[in-house]
Amino acid sequence: MDIAQFQQLIRDRYYATDSERGPAATFLWLTEEFGELAEAIAKRERGDDVQSELEGEFADVLAWLATLANITDIDLTEALRKKYVDGGGPEGTK
């Protein structure tokens, strides 16, 4: 599955409720998912075997990001292409 297919899957399944919730509340859900991902990473750093949990949290973060993009009319594939392919990406290191 590519990014466009995933974004469409999320749109097909959740757009009606997501659009009613709105961008601000959806962003709060996304930040909550980042928190859950942070907790899973912390567990991994302590030596716990949390690979399955990490995979789930990464998937949740990506799903909520796709949701936010959908309700703000952003095509993630196009945004990535414009910034990182056509635009060469940001200068420097991350």
Residues in contact with 18: Cβ distance below 8 Å, sequence separation at least 6, in sequence order? 26, 67, 70, 71
So what's the pLDDT on residue 52?
A: 97
Tens digits of residue pLDDT in 46-61: 999 999 999 999 999 9
Domain segments of the chain: what residues? 29-74
- pLDDT for 15-45, tens place per residue? 999 999 999 999 999 999 999 999 999 999 9
pTM (2 decimals)?
A: 0.89
